[in-house]
Amino acid sequence: MPLLFLFVLSCADEKEDSSTEHIKVVLREVGNQLLLVNKDSTSLILPVVAIEKSKFRLSFQKPLTFEPDDLVEIFRENFQKTTLTKDYRVEVIQCVDNEVAYSYEVSLNEENTIIPCISRVLPKACYNIEVRLINTKNSSSSNSILILLVALIGLCFLGIIFYYRRRNYDKENKTETAIKIGSFKFYADQNKLIKEAEEINLSKKECELLEIFVSRPNEVIKRDELTKRVWEDNGVFVGRSLDTYISKLRKKLKSDASIKLTNVHGVGYKLELK
């Protein structure tokens, strides 16, 4: 999940950077056309600055003058050529006192579009043009990515809850399988024998030995095989250990006369079931 989160954020950052650079290019073209309206093809358009998210400033090297009608039309033409939002607000700021000399707002919803005083020429002066994009596609894209991220986290969380509930359900409803040995029930996975209401606990090695015997009843199993299967992975084996555990098993099974754990001299042991 952390990797997914970082990947989604990096994608969002890359898209935002690309959109910002695209907006700057469009605004430079707006500035170029305004200068051409002033019959100025030599002075510079200063670097377009991102003041804050979705708000940009267009500045010029020299004073200029224009009719608001020209400004509105230049913005409209350039924004229609792009995938930029068609909802935006434009403010013409006087450099000398930072007062708004002219402003208007455009919306896809014509009723919300406000364009006042388009025929009054602005006097020649130093102006900064600030543009705020409203409901930008970049913002929409970021919101979509955020919603997708939250949805993925939610799905993962629900998946984890489902997994643990399912595991607990399986554990609670797991059928305990018992191997019948005479009057005993042998639960190998729980290391125990049950006879009627009596529960007899087995050690791990007693359980392992008995499991081998019940898988091959009435068959002689060699000592070497028993010691290898029960003690080989544990590293240490004392010569009399097998006999000691066999003796313990005999005591725990002695209450049922139909079961005998017999010693086949020099060979091994056999679980005899009648």
**Based on the number of CB atoms within 10 Å of its own CB, is 271 exposed (0-12), middle (13-18) or buried (19 or more)?**
buried
Q: Are residues 112 and 226 in the same domain?
A: no
Which domain-ending residue is among 118, 139, 160? 139
CA 155 to chain centre: 9
* Mean pLDDT confidence for 80-84: 80
Residue predicted with more confidence, 173 or 144:
144
pLDDT of the residue at 266: 86
Which domain-ending residue is among 139, 160, 181? 139
Q: Is residue 196 part of a domain?
A: no
Give the predicted TM-score (pTM) of the model.
0.47
Residue predicted with more confidence, 70 or 190:
70
Q: Is residue 179 part of a domain?
A: no
* Mean pLDDT confidence for 19-23: 87
Domain range enclosing 245: 203-273
What is the number of other CB atoms lying within 10 angstroms of the CB of residue 131? 22
Total tally of structural domains belonging to the chain: 2
pLDDT surpasses 80 at 16: no
